[in-house]
């Protein structure tokens, strides 16, 4: 089953007199349970493509179908609500709320979804234990290492039970050991729970673990490699 269906997407930025074609006629289908990396040089369009899939930006042309819904037609609160219930995000800079504990950061998205207290409390503990932070649930981000903060971000992304996780350079600010640990956790979640992950990355470690690698250059897909 396809969780993402991108159809002839074009994204053009007009900055003063400069016209930049960031994405140039991309079509791509992502199936449930994939562990996929979008790779390419800086400026190739991979982060733009991820932002379009996540509804953080709108294409100039084309359609992006998620669960049979064209998200390009969603606006305002409808788009925000759709993202909240369908898409999990993991960013390079963690984006945790500094005054909240690990538990509160993970729980926050479920509060927005109006999930009952007992259910969200149970799920929060389960998720933090799944990413190896069961003993740090009451620690604030400032008391956690970069790798630990990114693991909280993964738990938070999973909290909403999304259709898929978008991870934009999630290992970029981590040392080698932390990056390997994080990738192993995400791969285990993918294998055990069939969670779909789509990465945008420069990191060879992510590419090595990915079972599908999409190479993008000058806004176009130039290679689509599926691995066993």
What does the pLDDT average to over 58-65? 96
Q: List Cβ neighbours of 202 (8 Å cut-off, separation of 6 or more).
A: 39, 42, 169, 172
In tens, the pLDDT along 176-224 reads 998 999 999 999 999 998 999 999 998 999 999 999 999 999 999 999 9
Strands 212-217 and 220-226: antiparallel
Cα–Cα distance for residue pair 216/187, rounded to 1 Å: 23
Full set of structural domains in the chain with CATH: 2-226 (3.40.50.300)
Q: Which among 185, 172, 91 has a CA at the least distance from the CA of 133? A: 185
Q: What is the DSSP string of 58-119?
A: --SEEEEEETTEEGGG--HHHHHHHHHHHEEEE-TT----TTS-HHHHHHHHHHHTT--HHH
In tens, the pLDDT along 10-55 reads 999 987 778 899 999 999 999 999 999 999 998 899 999 999 999 9
In tens, the pLDDT along 67-115 reads 899 999 999 999 999 999 999 999 888 889 999 999 999 999 999 999 9
In tens, the pLDDT along 118-130 reads 999 999 999 999 9
pLDDT band at 174 (very low <50, low <70, confident <90, very high): confident
For residue 27, the model assigns a pLDDT of 97
For residue 50, the model assigns a pLDDT of 95
Asked if residue 148 has pLDDT above 90, the reply is yes
For residue 92, the model assigns a pLDDT of 84
In tens, the pLDDT along 9-18 reads 999 998 777 8
What value does the mean pLDDT of the chain take?
93
Strands 212-217 and 35-39: parallel
Asked if residue 228 has pLDDT above 80, the reply is no
Cα–Cα distance for residue pair 120/98, rounded to 1 Å: 20
Q: pTM of the full predicted structure?
A: 0.92
What does the pLDDT average to over 132-153? 94
């Amino acid at each position: 089953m396809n969780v993402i269906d991108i159809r002839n997407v074009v994204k053009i930025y007009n900055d003063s007199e400069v016209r930049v074609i960031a994405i140039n006629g991309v079509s791509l289908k992502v199936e449930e349970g994939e562990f996929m990396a979008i790779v390419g040089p800086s400026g190739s369009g991979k982060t733009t493509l991820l932002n379009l899939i996540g509804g953080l930006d709108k294409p100039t042309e084309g359609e992006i179908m998620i669960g049979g819904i064209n998200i390009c037609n969603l606006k305002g609160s409808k788009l925000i609500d759709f993202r909240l219930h369908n898409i999990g995000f993991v960013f390079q800079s963690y984006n945790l709320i500094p005054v909240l504990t690990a538990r509160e950061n993970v729980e926050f998205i479920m509060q927005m979804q109006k999930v009952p207290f007992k259910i969200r409390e149970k799920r929060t503990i389960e998720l933090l234990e799944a990413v190896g932070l069961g003993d740090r649930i009451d620690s604030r981000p400032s008391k956690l290492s970069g790798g630990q903060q990114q693991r909280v971000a993964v738990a938070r992304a999973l909290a909403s039970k999304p259709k898929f996780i978008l991870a934009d350079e999630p290992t970029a600010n981590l040392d080698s050991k932390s990056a390997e640990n994080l990738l192993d956790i995400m791969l285990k979640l993918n294998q055990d729970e069939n969670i779909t992950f789509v990465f945008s990355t420069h990191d060879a470690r992510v590419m090595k673990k990915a079972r599908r690698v999409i190479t993008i250059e000058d806004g176009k897909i130039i290679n689509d490699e599926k691995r066993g």
